[in-house]
Chain A
Amino acid sequence: MSRKTLTRRQFVAATAMSSTALIAAPYVRGAYAAGKLSIGFWDHWVPGANDASTALVKEWGEKEKVEVSIDYITSNNKKIELTAAAEAQAKSGHDILQMPSWWPHAYSENLEPLNDVMEPLIKQNGEVNDTVKYLGQSGGKWLAVPATPGSQIKGPCSRIDLIKKHAGIDVQEMYPAGSPPKDDNWTLETFLKAAEACQKAGFPFGIGLGETTDSVDTAGAIFQSFGAELVNAKGDVTVKTDAVRQALEFYKKLIAVLPTDAPSWDDASNNKWLISGRGAMIMNPPSAWAVAKRDAPQVAEQCWTHGFPAGPKGRFAPFLPYFWGVWSFGKNKEAAKSLLVHLSSPAAIEKFVAVSGGYDLPAYANMTKFKTWAEEGPPKGTLFHYPDPYHRQTLSIAASPAPPKIAQQIYFQATLTKMALRFAQGEKLETALAWAEGECEGFMRT
């Protein structure tokens, strides 16, 4: 029987090697090894929707042996934007942070490229729309992964009874549940006539003219329907064009039939307008309808969400995607990427859509016909056309196609609604254009 003795030197060497291996191990591990992951998710307004995210993350954490902690951050008072700004400044914080539409570009230098996540996801789930590419990509690099929770289209939500009675439009016939829309006559001209008729009858359309996103998104879609861009994709100021003039002339007519206090509306005002029963249409995701279902069921039963009216240059609908970004200074990037793949699986996406009552929209082309949208009600089928199942609209965001860092300023300074309001309140067209041109030139700062 041979007996091997360990010398003191061998013992020290072996201890040093094992310690080195233990310390180095976390830095070379794959996504399937243990570790910690910290996540900042948007705090969903739909009761129970956060539970779905928690369950999906927990399921993944248990499988991958990763210890996960989640913070749900409200979007009220720009808490998410403040968190993103603070974490980017401090170079410390969550590993994954859910961020609103413009933020991947705003923090592009601090975000981990996610091409290795997005390319397989696109193969699996289908192509994403151009707005997702515009907001989520920079120079061929994916800055973030489109998140289903929170992503939305802000299309028209009409009162079936009021629009039929006062404007003679049957929205259910135009956008039948389960079938393609018959929307050839649903143009901005028809929309304006309907707005005038409903205002005359005492039920004006509830479209805001304030500085918050709902107001800006509607203006963006209408301007794009006329082909009006304040700054083009190359970054040139293109305010003084015929397309912008046409859009402003249209907006002036529309503003004349909107509620008088629309310039002060925030993102809650249009919801309240619909639920109060005073308006025939608003531009919103189904959140207003969902609240009406709880607080004013008689109003909810008459709501129908459908497509945007078409303008001379096409049919555009405001689309606001949320994104999941991975900070480049995060401590567990591989695990973060693995979780994002899990949260973007078809099963997870369907779950997000179901728990949010159809509010959340996937960014992928193949995922617009889940049964949730077909079955939600009352009235049954009210959300069928919400995700644009027949791809009849160009999903866009206001201020695009300007380079995102310029567009973000046009968007948040509400240049479109302000310009339209200035003109509608009596300022000369050329003066309003000159003001907007000056603003856009200011946004070119680098």
Chain B
Amino acid sequence: MADVVVEQGRLARTASPRKRASLRNAMGRKSTVAFFLTLPLILLIALLVLYPAFYSVYLATLNKAMTKFVGLSNFTFLFKRETFWMVVRQSCIFAITAVVFKALIGFIVAHFVHNIPGKKQRKWRGMLLVPWVIPPAMSTLAWLWLFDPSYSAFNYTLSFFGVGPIPWLGDTFWARFSVILVNVWYGAPFFLIMYLAALKSVPDQLYEAAAIDGANWWQKIWHITLPMMRNIIAITTLFSLIVTFANFDIVRILTSGGPLDRTHLFATWAFQVGIQSSDIPLGACVSLFMVPILAVAAVFILRDVNKRGNEA
């Protein structure tokens, strides 16, 4: 019995320096250092993203007066509302149309810029990025003045050609067109810069080999450029889809969701229901409804990217 105690004591004594050594090793590892360096950011994200996200889930389960737990009944209430389904439809139309046009314009312009030689390319790159670097709340105000009912610069210009005046924000079709247009204007430079970076990483030898084989420009794009850019296209599309679905400022400033709620997105309608109508739980429900849609999109796109990554 006494032997065992002595043995245990010895074991305990020898374990301590070993522990210290392993701690020193752990601290010396690159991954540990990296973890500690990113810890402030992780804490910041936890504080500013995770906490509000879980808090909004909690809010979504309360009644309107926020006095009792009602489970999922706020969601079931929403599903019965005609306006809610209209907002779902509109958010999808808005996000998909805007992302398609942003990607298309970004792709085409990236090719133009890619073909501009040296110094000039830098200037063009800088100029084309301007819409993306101006805070959208500010640039959208400028667009609001361009669309203004009394002083619209667009209508003034169109009047010289005997066209208009067009009710840019007063008619359902034109209002939708206008908010999508501004979103495309703001977001296309992001696609442009990402696609430009991707284009630069495509080896010239591939194009040279294709040219020797007699490939035309379309065949080069279809068989070389697009396959080489697939991952970038998928990730930028996903990222832009998330940001566009969650858009608030452009619609809020241009139309506030009108006319007749026909330009409302999840975020603007959530604001109207939650803050303006003092129904915070229902507003939280509306904003949370974006999560499953975006999660499904993210799973599909990222799975595809992963698959191609493994193939490579």
Q: In chain B, residues 151-197, which have Cβ atoms closer than 8 Å to a Cβ of chain A?
A: 151, 165, 167-171, 175
- Given A209-B259, A422-B260, A446-B63; A261-B275 close (CB under 8 Å): no
Q: In chain B, residues 80-103, which have Cβ atoms closer than 8 Å to a Cβ of chain A?
A: 81-83
Could you tell me if A409 and B277 are in contact, using CB atoms closer than 8 angstroms? Answer: yes
Residues of B contacting A260 in the complex (Cβ-Cβ under 8 angstroms): 165, 167, 170-171
Cα distance, A425 to B148, chains bound together (Å): 22
Q: Is B149's CB within 8 Å of the partner chain A?
A: yes
- Given A421-B259, A446-B64; A262-B275 close (CB under 8 Å): no
Could you tell me if A273 and B150 are in contact, using CB atoms closer than 8 angstroms? Answer: yes
Q: Is B278's CB within 8 Å of the partner chain A?
A: yes
* Chain B 274-308 near chain A by CB (<8 Å), digits 1 or 0: 01111110100000000000000000000000000
- Given A276-B151, A408-B278; A418-B260 close (CB under 8 Å): yes
Which one of A273, A438, A446 contacts B65 once the chains associate, using CB atoms below 8 Å?
A: A446
Could you tell me if B259 and A263 are in contact, using CB atoms closer than 8 angstroms? Answer: yes
Residues of A contacting B261 in the complex (Cβ-Cβ under 8 angstroms): 418
> Which residue of A78, A413, A439 has the most chain B CB atoms within 10 A of its CB atom?
A413
Q: Is A60's CB within 8 Å of the partner chain B?
A: no
Residues of A contacting B148 in the complex (Cβ-Cβ under 8 angstroms): 269, 272
Residues of B contacting A276 in the complex (Cβ-Cβ under 8 angstroms): 150-151
B63's nearest neighbour on chain A, judged by CB, is: A446
Q: Is A265's CB within 8 Å of the partner chain B?
A: yes
**Shortest Cβ gap from A211 to chain B (Å):** 5
Cα distance, A273 to B77, chains bound together (Å): 41
Residues of B contacting A294 in the complex (Cβ-Cβ under 8 angstroms): none
Residues of A contacting B83 in the complex (Cβ-Cβ under 8 angstroms): 439
Cα distance, A259 to B148, chains bound together (Å): 12
B276's nearest neighbour on chain A, judged by CB, is: A412
Which bracket fits the contact residues of B?
A: 35 or more
A89's nearest neighbour on chain B, judged by CB, is: B280
Cα distance, A209 to B170, chains bound together (Å): 9
Q: In chain A, residues 70-94, which have Cβ atoms closer than 8 Å to a Cβ of chain B?
A: 77-78, 81-82, 85, 89
Q: In chain A, residues 410-435, which have Cβ atoms closer than 8 Å to a Cβ of chain B?
A: 412-414, 418, 421-422, 425, 435
* Chain A 396-407 near chain B by CB (<8 Å), digits 1 or 0: 000000000100
Cα distance, A81 to B167, chains bound together (Å): 30
Q: Is A442's CB within 8 Å of the partner chain B?
A: yes
Cα distance, A272 to B149, chains bound together (Å): 9
* Chain B 131-152 near chain A by CB (<8 Å), digits 1 or 0: 0000000000000000011110
Q: Is A445's CB within 8 Å of the partner chain B?
A: yes
Residues of A contacting B175 in the complex (Cβ-Cβ under 8 angstroms): 264
**Shortest Cβ gap from A243 to chain B (Å):** 23
Could you tell me if A261 and B258 are in contact, using CB atoms closer than 8 angstroms? Answer: no
Residues of A contacting B275 in the complex (Cβ-Cβ under 8 angstroms): 78, 81-82, 85
A446's nearest neighbour on chain B, judged by CB, is: B64
Q: Is A188's CB within 8 Å of the partner chain B?
A: no
Which bracket fits the contact residues of A?
A: 35 or more
Could you tell me if B278 and A405 are in contact, using CB atoms closer than 8 angstroms? Answer: yes
* Majority-rule SS of B interface residues: loop
**Shortest Cβ gap from A56 to chain B (Å):** 30
Residues of B contacting A127 in the complex (Cβ-Cβ under 8 angstroms): none
**Shortest Cβ gap from B285 to chain A (Å):** 11
Could you tell me if B82 and A408 are in contact, using CB atoms closer than 8 angstroms? Answer: no
**Shortest Cβ gap from B248 to chain A (Å):** 11
Could you tell me if A264 and B259 are in contact, using CB atoms closer than 8 angstroms? Answer: yes
Could you tell me if A261 and B168 are in contact, using CB atoms closer than 8 angstroms? Answer: yes
A411's nearest neighbour on chain B, judged by CB, is: B277
Q: In chain A, residues 248-264, which have Cβ atoms closer than 8 Å to a Cβ of chain B?
A: 259-264
Could you tell me if B276 and A78 are in contact, using CB atoms closer than 8 angstroms? Answer: yes
Residues of B contacting A261 in the complex (Cβ-Cβ under 8 angstroms): 149, 165, 167-171
Q: Is A354's CB within 8 Å of the partner chain B?
A: no
**Shortest Cβ gap from A295 to chain B (Å):** 12
Residues of A contacting B279 in the complex (Cβ-Cβ under 8 angstroms): 409, 445
A419's nearest neighbour on chain B, judged by CB, is: B260
Q: Is B272's CB within 8 Å of the partner chain A?
A: yes
Cα distance, A165 to B196, chains bound together (Å): 62
Residues of A contacting B65 in the complex (Cβ-Cβ under 8 angstroms): 109, 446
A209's nearest neighbour on chain B, judged by CB, is: B259
Could you tell me if B167 and A442 are in contact, using CB atoms closer than 8 angstroms? Answer: no
Q: Is A106's CB within 8 Å of the partner chain B?
A: yes
**Shortest Cβ gap from A61 to chain B (Å):** 32
**Shortest Cβ gap from B273 to chain A (Å):** 8
Could you tell me if A269 and B260 are in contact, using CB atoms closer than 8 angstroms? Answer: no
Q: What are the 5 tightest A-B residue pairs by CB atom distance, in nearest-first order?
A: A261-B170, A264-B169, A263-B259, A261-B167, A106-B278
Residues of A within 8 A of B (CB): 77-78, 81-82, 85, 89, 102-103, 106-107, 109, 209-212, 259-266, 269, 272-273, 276, 278, 405, 408-409, 412-414, 418, 421-422, 425, 435, 438-439, 442, 445-446
| Given A211-B256, A278-B150, 8 extra CB contacts under 8 A | A78-B271, A103-B278, A209-B259, A212-B256, A263-B167, A272-B151, A422-B260, A425-B260
Residues of B within 8 A of A (CB): 63-65, 77, 81-83, 148-151, 165, 167-171, 175, 252, 255-261, 271-272, 275-280, 282
